[in-house]
Chains A and B, each alone.
Chain A
Amino acid sequence: MFDKYTIDPASLANVGPADAPTGFAFTTKLGYYRGLGLSMVEDLKVSLDGEAFPREAITFDDGNGALSLDEMETAYDRRWVFGAPATVTVALPGGFPAGEHKLALQQRLRISYMPFPSFNNDEKVVSL
């Protein structure tokens, strides 16, 4: 219901040493009308120009400490607050490539009252 707002294009930045970035990061909000326990965020799939990064390359931080996607699955005591931005970091030696690129994010959520998983999709052309 908030798909188009889930990637904040202005937040895009490289991470790691300026002369040798180890990846890039951007902020995202949970595209859902309430907060959700982190264990129910099944996947945050990031792709660049149509190519998806491996799950292991992604980390999530809502301000309370970075977690891998596998670690999120058992983070039963943490919630992603409604409307609150969190940082998604993608491991990519060299950082975000020069120029404009299509950045896509798919959030896959396990919503208990729904018979199937819920997907939130956003795609934006961004540059550093």
Chain B
Amino acid sequence: MKSQIKRGVSLYSFQEELFLGQLSLEDCVSFAAGIGANGIEILPEQNIASFPNVSDAQIAELHAMLARHGAHFTAYDMFLDTKRRKDRLMSDEEQVESIHRDLILCNRLGIRNMRILIFVRPDILEKCVPMAEKLDVHMGVEVHAPWHLEHAWIQRTIEVADRLNTRHLGILPDMGIFMKHYPPVMRARYERQGARPEVCDFIVDQHEQKVMCEYTIFEVAVKMQGNKAEVAMAESLRHNPYANPKRIYDYAPYFRHIQAKFYEMTEDCRDPALDYDAVIPELVRAGWDGTLSSEYEGNRWIQDVMEVDSREQVRRQHVMFERLIAKAEADLAGAAA
């Protein structure tokens, strides 16, 4: 079975170099296309300085730039500033208006997938479905750790999508939910901040054993009298649980795009933390044909001691994707034969 999975990159991956002015948008696109990851996920609030007042001429320039590299946009990451005012939250009407603004810009950019921040209320999204349908934009609620596919909050979006029988509301999984092992880059950073190796060992082992995080936090904070870095590391477990990769198969009809989060790729192109080994076969088995969009988030864990090379990290992840997709295809073909 030949997989139809497409590969791409979120510009979020290059945030270090973009922030520092070391890479231009075009440098990022050129690099991504060069490794066969020609689907580009954009964060207009990061990548378009004139946001939200983006002119037709600017959009034409962006498209011409993509075309020069044989690339195209895959997804639009929206934000919703419900706390824009200090004195009150945005009203429901203002929230809908803000999302409409993004749907319209998304459509003008020729993009059909919009990443919805996970905190956006499902009943607000329900009000946006008619506009999403009209513009043919899929609103995918980002399933981000510590939430997971079967979390009650996510089920509320699934319920709305089912009830409306719409193909324009669903989810957009972030692979950070599949943290099988605690990332070595995170541990190393806490050690540099003063966490003792034996306490780090304990926390990593607790994560490895899938002990519910509150036990570990209590052990470290109270029983071990952990220092600031140790308690912070233990508390990081709250945001880094491991969800069952089998579930991704069940939910495949609800998503068209994946944020392929990662914190570090080893030199031999393996992810030491996230369970892509288990996730990719499920996507292939589901016949899923969306985009695996790299989302490198390791910069903040290493920038205190080394130069960040986001391009090399992304390159390694795509080597892994090619390997895992080919293996899953072969395994499925073998099982069918």
Contacts and interface: CB of A to CB of B under 8 A. Distances in A.
B is bound to A:
yes
Interface of A: 1-2, 4-5, 29, 33-37, 39-40, 42, 73, 76, 79, 81-84, 110-113
A73 B83 CA distance: 11
B19 A34 contact: no
Contacts of B303: 4
Contact of A82 (B19, B86, B117, B304): B19
A39 B86 contact: yes
B18 A82 contact: yes
Given A29-B19, A82-B19, A112-B119, A4 B82 contact: no
A73 B118 CA distance: 26
Interface string B217-249: 000000000000000000000000000000000
B15 A113 contact: no
Which of the listed residues A4, A35, A40 has the most CB atoms from chain B within 10 Å of its own CB? A35
Contact of A1 (B43, B45, B300): B300
A1 B84 contact: no
Contacts of A112: 79-84, 119
Given A4-B303, A112-B82, A113-B118, A35 B15 contact: no
Contacts of A35: 45-46, 49, 51
A33 B85 contact: no
Contacts of A40: 81, 83-84
Contacts of A37: 81, 84
B334 interface: no
B57 interface: no
Interface string B63-94: 00000000000000001111111100000000
Given A1-B299, A84-B49, A113-B119, A33 B12 contact: yes
A5 B51 CA distance: 23
6 contacts: A34-B79, A40-B81, A42-B86, A83-B19, A113-B79, A113-B80
Contacts of A82: 18-19, 45-47, 49
A76 B86 CA distance: 11
Nearest to A111: B83
B336 interface: no
Contacts of A42: 86
Which 5 residue pairs across A and B have the least CB separation, nearest first?
A34-B45, A34-B46, A112-B83, A1-B300, A112-B82
Contacts of A111: 83
Given A83-B19, A112-B80, 7 more contacts: A2-B19, A73-B86, A79-B51, A81-B49, A82-B46, A112-B79, A112-B84
Nearest to A31: B19
Nearest to B89: A112
B20 interface: yes
A83 B45 contact: no
Contacts of B299: 1
Nearest to A79: B51
A83 B84 CA distance: 20
B81 A33 contact: no
B84 A76 contact: yes
Interface string B108-133: 00000000011100000000000000
A82 B81 CA distance: 16
B153 to A, nearest CB: 13
Given A39-B84, A40-B84, A112-B119, A5 B20 contact: yes
A76 B84 CA distance: 8
Contacts of A29: 19
Contacts of B118: 113
A59 to B, nearest CB: 19
B15 A4 contact: no
Contacts of B117: 113
Nearest to B142: A113
A82 B119 CA distance: 22
Contacts of A84: 49
Nearest to B50: A81
Nearest to A85: B21
Nearest to A42: B86
Nearest to B300: A1
